[in-house]
């Protein structure tokens, strides 16, 4: 497994693979890998000849009061996991390699980023779309895999790829959960034992919504209301939103198309997100069996 | 010479060329080609195995009160010129192929675009950087050639390429002028005989500045003042600016590094630009002999 630190080396590698006709998969991460990340590596490995995992804690997607300084890292552990799951190469540039001090070009998505996490984290998605653009120009993958836990990010990336003609197929990796239901996240490492116990309200609230929906509940406000009740054990609820699965626009009243129930809540200073897609067989859907788009 | 209308076909073509180890040159244009454009095709042909000329009048770089509706076009003439100068393929997509009705992702440069034309044409450079990003993802060139007449655009593209890690070498094509000095521009077609005669004040004002500079004048305001006097035959002067050649920041007082003297003026409703680089041998410069950067 190669470890690549410079953009130029990464591009040279990628160029060689492409000229050999190899299919390149990419899994962009901020490191501190867990089973959610490794499931994405597995998806890439299944579809591609070579897999590049990127490890880069992207400073431009953190707000000034966010957790950049304390974001957990464990490069040795990450490398071992990547190797174990069959990664071909790691692209782990330093921040100075990725951003010039006078960087002044940004990629910005201006519709899907307005609500949900975008409303609470100004500049966050501009950082995400910019760094993913840069990683795509560096790695030149055929396929890139993103996790469904970051539901809004996934749709923003899919939109960016469409809007900029980027010839990268975006594959969606299902949410991976701890045995008790908590969605895997590098930020779970911040939680105290008490917070960890209370954080279960996230997945529980979504389970309840799933059951209500299965029992026929289609009223958006009724579902959100139940979710909010269960989230009462959080220290603060950032949002509980039922939005159109594709446009991320709030569902007005009754659900009649595939919808995304997205939640964000804080436990002390740790902010966690989770989500659930609500669809029934009557809705016009695509990719329900095989979660790969583009 | 191939004529390609869809992004997918363009990408497939480019992919085949790359796998064959061919070096791809790209000349992005809005069509209505003149000798300035064909000089860029010649530069690309000299450096590359295949040359793609893009013909696309990009709606997103025109302001609501600008000349999108009347922008001149002559596809048959353009194709003949491209063939004559050795282009391998033309990429000429329709507007609907390039932009989805709900396009929401933009590439934005936020430093070099603030002054000069950027100050007078809000949104213009966002349209340019976005479409050039899209063209680069479609054509995947090794080299792209841009003319020095659009001096600010050239530097904005160079900055974008650096900031987004785009593995495309940007080559600069020198300004091509009519025998009497007027810089070639598709917009010259708008000029009446009287306006055409008056438009000569653009190149004449720069000639005077060149002579004054050669004679030792280093005071920015003195040079700009002389240029403004000569531009009195224009109907309106948008700007006369002496800026740092690299950062495009105004030169305060005395010129001590390579500088760009950039001008924009209107003749009736036709807006024309021109520019001149001022450097002497004492300045630290690069690429003076061979105008290719990246």
pLDDT at A293 over 70: no
Contact status, residue B107 vs residue A106, Cβ threshold 8 Å: yes
At what angle are helices B7-19 and B124-139 packed, to 10 degrees?
50
Mean pLDDT, range A142-150, rounded to an integer? 98
Four-way CATH pick for A186-278: 1.10.10.10, 3.90.76.10, 3.30.2010.10, 3.30.1300.10: 3.30.1300.10
**Which candidate from A11, A104, A164 shows the least CB-CB separation from B137?**
A164
pLDDT number for residue B218: 97
Q: Percent of chain B at pLDDT above 90?
A: 94
- Beta pairing, strands B50-55 & B89-91: parallel
pLDDT band at A29 (very low <50, low <70, confident <90, very high): very high
The pLDDT tens digits of the residues spanning B10-22 come to 999 999 999 999 9
Q: To 5 degrees, how large is the angle CA A29–CA A12–CA A94?
A: 40
Residue in chain B lying closest to A11 (CA): B167
Q: Percent of chain A at pLDDT above 70?
A: 96
B108 and chain A in contact, CB less than 8 A = yes
Mean pLDDT, range B114-136, rounded to an integer? 97
pLDDT number for residue A228: 98
CA distance A286 to chain B (A): 20
Q: Which residues pair with A219 in a beta bridge?
A: A254
pLDDT band at B283 (very low <50, low <70, confident <90, very high): low
pLDDT at B286 over 70: no
**Which candidate from B104, B111, B138 shows the least CB-CB separation from A111?**
B104
A159 and chain B in contact, CB less than 8 A = yes
What's the mean pLDDT when you consider all of chain A?
95
Mean pLDDT, range A206-217, rounded to an integer? 97
Distance CA A77, CA A84 (A): 11
Q: Percent of chain B at pLDDT above 70?
A: 96
Mean pLDDT, range A223-233, rounded to an integer? 97
Domains A2-173 and A186-278 share a fold: no
pLDDT number for residue A281: 76
Homologous superfamily assigned to B2-173: HUPs (3.40.50.620)
B22 and chain A in contact, CB less than 8 A = no
The pLDDT tens digits of the residues spanning B46-85 come to 999 999 999 999 999 999 999 999 999 999 999 999 999 9
pLDDT number for residue A62: 96
pLDDT at B289 over 50: no
pLDDT number for residue B294: 36
pLDDT number for residue A292: 39
Distance CA B99, CA B96 (A): 5
Three-class HEC string of chain B: CEEECCHHHHHHHHHHHHHCCCCEEEEEECCCCCHHHHHHHHHHHHHCCEEEEEECCCHHHCCCCCCCCCCCCCHHHHHHHHHHCCCCEEECCCHHHHCCCCCCEEEEECCCCCCHHHHHCCCHHHHHHHHHHHHHHHHCCCEEEEECCCHHHHHHHHHHHHHCCCCCEEEEECCCECCCCCECCHHHHHCCHHHHHHCHHHHHHHHHHHHHHHCCCCEHHHHHHHHHHHHHHCCEEEEEEEEECCCCCECCCECCCCEEEEEEEEECCEEEEEEEEECCCCCCCCCCCCCECC
Q: Using the beta-carbon criterion (under 8 Å), do A105 and B19 form an inter-chain contact?
A: no
Cβ-based neighbours of B169, under 8 Å, separated by 6 or more: B142, B143, B144, B292, B294
pLDDT at A49 over 70: yes
A155 and chain B in contact, CB less than 8 A = no
pLDDT number for residue A291: 40
pLDDT band at B284 (very low <50, low <70, confident <90, very high): low
Range name among A53-57, A281-285, B148-152 with the lowest pLDDT average: A281-285
pLDDT number for residue B280: 87
Listed by start position, the domains of chain B span 2-173, 186-278
pLDDT at A288 over 80: no
Q: What is the CA radius of gyration of chain A?
A: 19
* Residues of A designated catalytic: 37
pLDDT number for residue A283: 65
Which position has the token pair 């024309």? B272
Contact status, residue A169 vs residue A291, Cβ threshold 8 Å: no
Tell how far CA B114 is from the center of its chain: 17
pLDDT number for residue A284: 58
pTM: 0.94
């Amino acid at each position: 497994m190669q470890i690549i630190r410079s953009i130029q080396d990464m591009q040279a590698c990628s160029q060689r693979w492409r000229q050999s006709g190899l299919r390149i998969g990419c899994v962009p991460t901020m490191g501190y890998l867990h089973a959610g990340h490794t499931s994405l590596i597995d998806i890439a490995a299944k579809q591609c000849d070579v897999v590049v995992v990127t490890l880069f804690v992207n400073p431009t997607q953190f707000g000034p009061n966010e957790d950049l300084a304390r974001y957990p890292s464990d490069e040795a552990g990450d490398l071992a996991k990547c190797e174990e799951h069959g990664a071909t190469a790691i692209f782990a540039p330093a921040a100075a390699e990725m951003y010039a001090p006078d960087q002044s070009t940004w990629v910005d998505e201006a519709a899907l980023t307005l609500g949900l996490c975008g409303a609470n984290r100004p500049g966050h998605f501009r950082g995400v779309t910019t760094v993913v653009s840069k990683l795509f120009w560096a790695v030149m993958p055929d396929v890139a895999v993103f996790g469904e836990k970051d539901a809004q990010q996934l749709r923003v990336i899919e939109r960016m790829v469409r809007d900029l003609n980027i010839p990268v197929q975006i594959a969606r990796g299902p949410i991976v959960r701890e045995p008790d239901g908590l969605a895997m996240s590098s930020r779970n490492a911040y939680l105290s034992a008490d917070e960890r116990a209370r954080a279960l309200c996230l997945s529980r609230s979504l389970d309840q919504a799933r059951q209500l929906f299965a029992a026929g509940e289609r009223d958006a406000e009724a579902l959100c209301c139940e979710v909010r009740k269960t989230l009462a054990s959080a220290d603060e609820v950032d949002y509980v939103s039922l939005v159109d699965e594709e446009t991320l626009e709030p569902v007005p009243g009754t659900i009649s198309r595939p919808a995304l129930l997205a939640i964000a809540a804080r436990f002390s200073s740790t902010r966690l997100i989770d989500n659930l897609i609500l669809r029934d067989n009557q809705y016009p859907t695509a990719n329900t069996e095989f979660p790969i788009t583009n």
